[in-house]
Copies of this chain bind each other. A is one copy, B any other.
Amino acid sequence: MTHSEENYIKAIFHLASTGIEVISTNALAEKMETKPSSVTDMMRRLSEKGLVHYKKYQGVSLTTLGTKTALSIIRKHRLWEVFLVEKLGFTWDEVHEIAEQLEHIKSEKLIDKLDELLDFPKFDPHGDPIPGKNGEFMEHDNQLLSQLPIGSVALCVGVKDSSAVFLRFLDKNSIALGNKMKILEKEEFDNSLRILLDERELQISQQIASNLYVKKIEL
């Protein structure tokens, strides 16, 4: 498989995991930042290789093989991200771009050894689960901070938007994975939240709150 084919497979997987199971040419073109005609060409190729189900005008979805392939690439991507943060001291906003390159390195043994070096991590630096060697993958069933009722206490476990801009914003406000947060008040006007973050009181916009995954703590 070429880098490009792998990137398409990954994009289809990501779009599919947002709910839609049949992906349109346009949606994929937008995700890949390319033109619909290029997508059509690539879908024909991936279809011939048995990685996607594709019928003209009918959209596209991953085959079992395609899904297995996607999980393997995502596994590599996320393990490399852990490596970059844990072993090389990169910050969580710097690693995605480099992992986009590293995920295409071909060596089963390499990724197994890396997994071992990192002590078999279950989550990447953004809180996303790392697929297992044999394709085991648990989607996290986490809630968004914006969905919690007032008074709830929860742990911050992941980010939905993992763009560098958002991550640096979180850094600036000392919001990190593992933080305990309690919802104090919800502003009706703009749906912003007043929360207690560890010891600190903080006002958070709806935009922020709907991009933070949390795990509720029962009291």
Contacts and interface: CB of A to CB of B under 8 A. Distances in A.
Interface of A: 84, 87-90, 94, 97-98, 101-102, 105-107, 109-110, 113-114, 117
Contact of A98 (B90, B107, B117): B107
Contacts of A106: 101
A208 to B, nearest CB: 28
A73 to B, nearest CB: 15
A101 B105 contact: yes
A109 B101 CA distance: 14
11 contacts: A88-B110, A88-B114, A88-B117, A89-B113, A90-B109, A94-B109, A97-B107, A98-B105, A98-B107, A101-B105, A102-B105
Contacts of A88: 110, 113-114, 117
A162 to B, nearest CB: 18
A1 to B, nearest CB: 14
A97 B108 CA distance: 13
